[in-house]
C-alpha cells in the first residue's frame, strides 16, 4: 500500500506517544521530522533505553539498523551527536534516536550486548569520530589502520590530511608466522 507523508507522520506520532508513556524518563525531546519519528535521549540512559526498546513487547525494536555520529564543531554546545536508526520488524516502525556528547572525551554506553550487529558499526564510529563505546567487547579501528593519527570524519581533520609513514613492526614483537614454519619469508620483509 502506498503510504503518504501524512500517514507516515501519523504513525510516527502514535509511536512517539507510546514512547513518552513508557520511556518518558529518558527522553529529552521528541518530534516528527519529515515523517520520521525522532527522539533525543540522555547520554547516561542509553543502555536502559535501548534494552527497554528491544524487550518491550509493544515496541519490539528488534533490528539495530545503523549508528553514526555528526560533528557539530562550534555550532552547538555539545560537539558530537550520535544518531541511531532502529526498526521494528513486527510493527514496521522506524525510529531515530539522538544522543548529545561533549567534546572532551566523548563516551557512551555500547549496545553491542543487545544486538551483535552493533559491534562493527560502533567500531566504525569509534574509528571515524573517536567516540568511545563503554562495554564494547573489541573496540579497535576497523576501516583505518591502528597507527592512524586522528579521526578522519571529524570536521577539524583536513580533507587532504597527510599521515606519517609507519615503520615495519619492531622485531621484538613475537611473530606468529614463525609458528607456520615460514620464517624465511618474513626475513625478506625485515631486511
Partner 1 sequence: MKELLNVDYGIGGVTTHMRPRKEGDDLHSETMILNLGPAHPATHGTVRIVAELSGEKILDADVELGYLHRGFEKMCETVDYNKVMPYADRLNYVSPIINNVGWCLTVEKLLGVEVPKRAQYIRVVMSELSRMCDHLTCLGASAMELGAFTVMLYLMQAREYLWELIEEVTGARLTISYGRVGGLKDDLPEGFGDRMAEAFTGIRRHLDNSDRLLTRNRIFIDRMCDVGALSAEQAADFSLTGPLARASGLDYDVRRDFPYSSYEDFDFEVPLGTKGDNYDRFLVRFQELIESMRICEQAMENLPDGEISLEDPRIVLNPKDEVYSSIDGMINHFEMVIFGVQPPKGDVYIPVEGGNGELGFYTVSDGTGRPYKVHVRAPSFIHMGAVREMLLGETIADVVPTFGMVNMIGGECDR
Euclidean distance between CA atoms 14 and 59, whole angstroms: 11
Closest CA to 35 of 9, 67, 3, 2: 9
Nearer of residues 103 and 138 to partner 1, judged by Cβ: 138
**Residue (19 or 121) nearer to partner 1, CB:** 121
Neighbour-count burial for 71-81, b at 16+ CB within 10 Å, e otherwise: beeeeeeebbb
Q: Are 128 and 143 in contact (CB under 8 A)?
A: yes
Closest approach, Cβ 117 to partner 1, in A, equals 3
Given the rule CB under 8 A, which residues bind partner 1? Answer: 1-3, 33-34, 36, 62-66, 68, 70-71, 83, 85, 89, 92, 94, 96, 115-121, 124, 128, 137-138, 140-146, 152-153, 157, 159, 168-169, 173-177, 179-180, 185-186, 189-190
User: Which residue, among 57, 61, 25, 17, has the nearest Cα to 44 in the 3D structure?
Assistant: 25
Measured from the CB atom, is 10 or 68 closer to partner 1?
A: 68
Smallest separation, CB 180 to partner 1 (Å)? 7
To partner 1, the closest distance from the beta carbon of 163 in angstroms equals 12
Whether the Cβ atoms of residue 46 and residue 95 lie closer than 8 Å to each other: no
24 versus 167: smaller Cβ distance to partner 1:
167
Amino acid at each position: 500500500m502506498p503510504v503518504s507523508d501524512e500517514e507516515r507522520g501519523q504513525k510516527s506520532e502514535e509511536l512517539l506517544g507510546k514512547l513518552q508513556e513508557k520511556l518518558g524518563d529518558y527522553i529529552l525531546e521528541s518530534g516528527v521530522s519529515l515523517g520520521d519519528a525522532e527522539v533525543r535521549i540522555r547520554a547516561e540512559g542509553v543502555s536502559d533505553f535501548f534494552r527497554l526498546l528491544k524487550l518491550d513487547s509493544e515496541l519490539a525494536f528488534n533490528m539495530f539498523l545503523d549508528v553514526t555520529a555528526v560533528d557539530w564543531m562550534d555550532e552547538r554546545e555539545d560537539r558530537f551527536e550520535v544518531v541511531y536508526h532502529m526498526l521494528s520488524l513486527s510493527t514496521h516502525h522506524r525510529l531515530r534516536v539522538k544522543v548529545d556528547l561533549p567534546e572532551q572525551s566523548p563516551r557512551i554506553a555500547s549496545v553491542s550486548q543487545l544486538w551483535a550487529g552493533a559491534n562493527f558499526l560502533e567500531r566504525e564510529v569509534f574509528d571515524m569520530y573517536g567516540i568511545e563505546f563503554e562495554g564494547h567487547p573489541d573496540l579497535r579501528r576497523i576501516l583505518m589502520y591502528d597507527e592512524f593519527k586522528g579521526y578522519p570524519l571529524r570536521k577539524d581533520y583536513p580533507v587532504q590530511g597527510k599521515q606519517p609513514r609507519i615503520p615495519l613492526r619492531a622485531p621484538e614483537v613475537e611473530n606468529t608466522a614463525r609458528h607456520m614454519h615460514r620464517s624465511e619469508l618474513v626475513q625478506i620483509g625485515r631486511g
